[in-house]
Structure 1
Amino acid sequence: MSDSTTWKLSLFAPKPIVQAALLAHDLIDDWDSELVIAGREVAEDQPDDWVLEGWYPRKPGNAEKTALAGLFDGSAPKVVVEKLPAEDWVTLSQHNAPPIRAGRFHVHTPDYPADPELIDFTIPASQAFGTGQHKTTAGCLEMLGAMKDSGVAARNIADIGTGTGLLGFAALALWPRALLTLTDIDAVCVGVVEENARLNAVPMGAARGEAVMIVADGMDDPLLQVRGPYDLLIANILAGPLVSLAPDFAKAISPKGSLLLAGLLAGEQEDAVKRAMHRAGFRMAARLQRGDWAILWLRRRSTRRPAR
């Protein structure tokens, strides 16, 4: 998203209804990429009351409202439309966010002090996802620590859909001699990642212990392919793309390499992703659940087995 005016559309409904709408969205191949959606609980003390939110770079018309309403089976909730200030909606949502602790890591905006006893990252509110506030990002940080504790040796790491760069930076902190490749489909993330690298003393470059940033759609980039195979690949994106990318991940990861996945709801989305990864030659190594979100660690089998 750019830093121009953004419009938000909100549909309030019980948790299972919003989750079903998110699942329906995952099955749509021709969804308007400018209409970004997400679901969340209305408040921590209202875990059963959820809202489906959509963000659009201009005033939404009937087409956008109908698209969101069509995700609901039966009678759709009322679509509430509001114009946001002329500032990126992700930045607004992250402003003054409190620090989080996730396993070995402490993540905070510049408004808060560092924690010298943990691996500390300063991640300002920005136009990219991944400040550690969302349960999927925090869960990935926890899982990275668990991988390190289990003896995983990562020498070549890729973070697909990196957003702010946080998960890639965290992996490099745990495996400081690794090669690190960061990618995102959104070009705005390049400047965000470079600034965050500067703030956290993460060197940018192509050598070991340095990070390379690429704008790429999934695994479709020559440099991303040349820098492989990877023995740790991170993808905190969405369930639908994860299913589609399973064969590409299998080609990009070395035998016995690790795959860290998030951005999927526990239940149907998780089951669909697990099936796709199993067919592509991965086996489960560990699982975390944070709220309604599943975080999966998978290992690529050393020998591919035929899909059943």
Structure 2
Amino acid sequence: MSWKLTAFAPRLVIEAALVAHEDAFDWDPDIVLSGSEVAEDKPDDWQLEAWLPRKPGRTEKAALAALFAGTAPKFAVEKLPDTDWLVASQQDLQPIRAGRFHVHTPDHPAIREPGLLDFTIPASQAFGTGQHATTAGCLAMLTHMKAQGLVVRNCADIGTGTGLLAFAALSLWPGALATASDIDAVCVDVVEANARTNDMPMGPGPGELTMTVADGMNHRLLAARGPYDLIMANILAGPLVSLAPDFGTALVPGGHLLLAGLLETQERAVRAACRKAGLRLAARLVNGDWSILWMRKRRR
């Protein structure tokens, strides 16, 4: 990314803009957005950042302004040096502990404790190093699901990114079939490299992970390896709503669905879509502004 635009506004304004971005089906994929608080001691002061591989013109600025219901805030424009800003932004990430899991980059040592599952996930172009509230929340929820007696024989991680959630599921249920997919082909090499780093076996059999590139559930491999006891999807609220019927179809009766990537303000829409697909809420947790949902398919 060689250009960045930054605007400051109250948290609710930025969150509404992020929701509008998710609903913009004609959005230019070259424009990557991120919303975050400016400082820990100012939780209601947020910034919206947009990265582009080219100098932003009138079209790009108009697209950003259209995300705001009222008057759009002023965007500051700056040219950036040639750096992989996604990787750079993840450098110096601190280790996290979530449920039974400890996740860290290679810059930090592993922790060997009884019952603790340790993963080394380098910073990369794929999402899911564990530090984001949604990924950490999923790890905590998976730990809770295991503690509640959930047995998983066949699972899928949709939008896997780094592969972390798939690795976590295989660690909790080591005899399960596991399938991971992502719409971004770059994730294939990332997942395979992370699997080698963490001694996670790749392959089609029990206790192994199979990786593919797919748009949502639309892939022959995902259909052939289903139905699933557990589907995990840490993506975005818009796709979760759209994919709810496919998730319901791909689960066995009584099967489980772990959803994340949605703001707490988006939870109602996601849960409504899941109810229409025959899924009910089993448990939820909120990590920061993000909701993590454990849904369960009706048995009949």
TM-score relative to the length of structure 1: 0.94
* 1:97 paired to 2:90: no
Question: Can you list the C-alpha shifts for 1:165-216, whole angstroms capped at 9, x where unaligned?
Answer: 0011011100000111111111111111111001000011001111111111
Residue 211 of structure 2 is matched in structure 1 by 213
| Candidates 198, 210, 229, aligned match of 1:231 | 229
Question: 1:189 maps to which residue?
Answer: 187
For structure 1, the residue ranges without an aligned partner over 5 or more in a row are 304-308
Q: AA paired with 1:61?
A: G
Which residue of 1 is the match for residue 118 of structure 2?
120
Deviation at 1:281, TM superposition (A): 0.5
**1:142-157 residue pairs with structure 2 within 5 A?**
142-157=140-155
Tell me which residue corresponds to 1:19: 15
Matched-pair identity in %: 66
The residue that corresponds to 1:108 in the other structure is 104
Residue by residue over 1:5-51, the C-alpha shift from the partner in whole angstroms, topping out at 9 and shown as x without a partner, is: 44322221110111111122232222222222222112222211111
For residue 51 of structure 1, give the secondary structure of its aligned residue in structure 2: strand
Output the aligned Cα RMSD.
Answer: 1.2
- Residue 34 of structure 2 corresponds to residue 41 of structure 1: no
Q: Which amino acid letter does the alignment assign opposite residue 21 of structure 1? A: A
Cα distance between partner residues in 2 of 1:82 and 1:69: 17
Q: Does 1:55 align with 2:46?
A: no
Query: CA separation in 1, counterparts of 2:2 and 2:196?
Result: 28
Mark the runs of 5 or more structure 2 residues left unpaired by the alignment. none
Cα separation, 2, equivalents of 1:21 and 1:131? 25
Query: Could you tell me how far apart the structure 1 residues matched to 2:166 and 2:190 are?
Result: 13
Q: Does 1:75 align with 2:75?
A: no
Q: Residue 137 of structure 1 aligns with which residue?
A: 135
Q: Which residue number in structure 2 is paired with residue 275 of structure 1?
A: 272
Relative to structure 1, the CA distance from residue 83 to residue 180 in structure 2 (aligned partners, 3 Å threshold; closer, same or farther) is: farther
Could you tell me how far apart the structure 2 residues matched to 1:262 and 1:6 are?
30
Per-residue CA deviations over 1:209-249 (Å, capped at 9, x if unaligned) read 11111111111111111011111000000000000001111
Once the two structures are superposed, what CA deviation does each residue of 1:110-150 show, in whole Å capped at 9, x if it has no partner? Answer: 00011111210000110111001110000000000000001
**Aligned equivalents of 1:108, 1:239: Cα separation in 2:** 27
Q: Is the 8 A contact 1:41 1:47 kept in 2?
A: yes
The 10-residue stretch of structure 1 (22-31 or 244-253) with the greater mean CA deviation from structure 2: 22-31
Q: What whole-Å deviation, never above 9, does each CA across 1:44-100 have from its counterpart, x for those lacking one?
A: 222111112222233322212211111112111111233344332221111010101
* Aligned equivalent of 1:306: none
- Residues 271, 209 of structure 1: CA spacing in aligned structure 2 closer, same or farther, 3 A cutoff? same
Distance 2:208 2:82 in 1: 35
Count of matched residue pairs: 298
The alpha-carbon distance between structure 1 residues 85 and 124, as it changes in their structure 2 partners (threshold 3 A), is: farther
**CA distance in 1: counterparts of 2:122 and 2:270, whole angstroms:** 31
Moved more, 142-151 or 53-62: 53-62
Partner of 2:286: 289
